[in-house]
Structure 1
Amino acid sequence: MLKFATSNELRGVNFIQSTGSCSCLSKENTRYNVTAVDLTAAGAGRICNVLDCFTTDCPANFDYVVEYHKCYKMQYTLQSWSAGRSLCNSISSSHPITIDDLLENTISIQYVNFTYIGQCPAGIGNSLGFFTSGYQTFMNGVRSFFWSPYPGVSKLVQIEASVWYPGEPNSRTDGSDYCIQSVFYDYPGWDDQYCGFKECVLCEYDMST
């Protein structure tokens, strides 16, 4: 668990290990300063206040990310997108991360940077990255991306194009399956990677609100 405290203010991405207990914070004295990857789109130094009292019900071995009320855990076994999804699904019914907005995109990258302990090659030079639950398909000849956290479950990816690395997505229309990887080093941004590529995966556990 990593957290940084200065004068009763927590800064950066803050983690609380799951204990199933209630952690009460003084709302007026506690701020969470999130620095965005895309400062224009997400807002530099955005302040995120949390509820006065919250419950950390993350499963064992998952980290609770305070700013977004999510449970994350990086899996460092290199495997295909489908195998990575199966792995996440087998761990407390979690799933590869589904990124709903720019803030979560920023926080997930910060979380991985703070907790990174392994090698997660993204297949682009010296870049490092992880698979999400996103995959590509073509609808009426148009490249489209969907989140599929579980088999048989999918929803359209709806997020600003700024999350993609410049020039991406650029996968071939050769019938191969391509999936969304989030690259956090040397090629920062989303990339459409061959789904059979073996890579790390960031698992996410959905908490009740």
Structure 2
Amino acid sequence: MAILVFFLLYLEIVSGGQMNERIYSRAYSYLAVKGQRSSVCYDDRMDIITKLKAASSFECILKCLIATANNLRGINFVKPYELCSCIPKVADILYNVTGCLTGCEAFVEHGCPGSFNYVMEQHKCFSIQITTNQWLSQRSTCNNMLNSHPVVIESYNENLVVRLYTLAVLKSTALCPLPGNSGKLALWIGLYSTFNNSKRLPYMWAPYPKSNNRTRYDSVKLPQNDVKISNCMVQITIEYS
């Protein structure tokens, strides 16, 4: 009989006269081992980490909240040696993780809904929906899922994490019929192309209706042919071995 155990640390913290609730849960990675969620710790060799001593994971979190001025992403705790590592919140970073635990337990605060996977390497909540809808219908599907949206790629790190996560959790290719993409993975993103008299204008991010912004990141792989708004926007195309 399989037994599923959740490790949670619940904190109530007073800040500015208000009570803030934080829940820290055990850290897992979807990228470390393809096709499965695995227990990991943050890599202690990252230079952003502050190392302390603590008698428990709870004490470690409290000390790390002070050490990071409440800017805490997560912790590592090694009970036999009372080792405590504080991992701060850093914008647009790839957090290195390791599966070599040697008594280490990592806890993280993320707030992802239960229907989403938390990708700790970049602090993102993802849920892959495999459909053959058109782009507008696919965006509506996402918007109706707890007001989420198709991925918006704004940096190299985010592009890499989306690619690795997609490869890690999908067992086969997703359907997105574009010329020359047979047998490959194609992924919808929150991007559409604009035209004026058949001339392509700048690509726009539109994760929600009436939310239109010029793309700032130019390393997104786009289709070479003139794809209209009703078709797939390709962020990655990867051949499966």
TM-score (norm 1): 0.60
Report SS of the residue matched to 2:141.
Answer: helix
| C-alpha separation in 1, matches of 2:232 and 2:126 | 20
Does the CA-based 8 Å contact 1:134-1:179 persist in structure 2? Answer: no
Name which of 201, 207, 221 aligns with 1:143: 201
Partner residue of 1:129? Answer: 186
The sequence identity of aligned pairs, in percent, is 25
Distance 1:109 1:3, change over 3 A: same
Q: Residue 153 of structure 1 aligns with which residue?
A: 211
Check whether the contact 2:132–2:176 (CA below 8 A) recurs between aligned residues. Answer: no
SS at match of 2:188: strand
The residue number in structure 1 matching 2:57 is none
Q: Give the superposition deviation at 1:64.
A: 0.9
Q: Does residue 48 of structure 1 match 2:95?
A: yes
Aligned: 1:99 with 2:156: no
How far apart, CA to CA, are the structure 2 residues paired with 1:126 and 1:136?
Answer: 25
Query: Which of the pair has the greater relative contact order for Cα pairs under 8 Å at 6+ separation?
Result: 1
Match of 2:138 in 1: 84
Distance 1:25 1:139, change over 3 A: farther
Whole-angstrom CA distance in 2 between matches of 1:59 and 1:76:
19
* Per-residue CA distance 1:170-192 (angstroms, 9 max, x = gap): 316xx7755522234239xxxxx
> Distance between the aligned counterparts of 1:129 and 1:72, measured in 2?
16
Aligned to 2:38: 3
What RMSD in Å do the two structures reach over aligned CA positions? Answer: 3.5
2:75 aligned residue (17, 20, 25): 25
Q: Structure 2: 5+ residue runs without aligned partners? A: 1-29, 31-36, 45-71, 77-83, 88-92, 98-105
SS at 1:104's partner residue? helix
Q: Which residue in 2 is equivalent to 1:183?
A: 236
CA distance in 2, matches of 1:177, 1:84: 10
User: CA separation of 1:28/1:155 partners in 2, compared to 1, >3 Å: closer, same or farther?
Assistant: same
Segments of structure 1 that go 5 or more residues without pairing to the other structure are 11-21, 31-45, 188-209
Map Cα deviations across residues 61-93 of structure 1 (whole Å, 9 max, x no partner).
Answer: 101111221101000122111111111011110
Is residue 2:174 matched to residue 1:120?
A: yes
Change (3 A) 1:110 1:61: same
Q: Which has the higher mean CA deviation after the structures are superposed, 147-156 or 175-184?
A: 175-184
- Show the counterpart of 2:128: 74
Which protein has the bigger strand share?
A: 1
Distance 2:109 2:173 in 1: 32
Distance 1:117 1:157, change over 3 A: same
How many angstroms does 1:5 deviate by?
Answer: 4.0
Number of matched residues? Answer: 154
Q: Is the 8 A contact 1:129 1:182 kept in 2?
A: yes
- Deviations along 1:3-62, one digit per CA (max 9) or x if unpaired, are 3648x749xxxxxxxxxxx984238598xxxxxxxxxxxxxxx96369x97422011210
In the alignment, residue 146 of structure 1 is paired with which amino acid? M
Helix, strand or coil at the partner of 1:128: strand
Alpha-carbon distance, 1:139 to partner: 6.3
Shift, 1:158, TM fit? 1.2
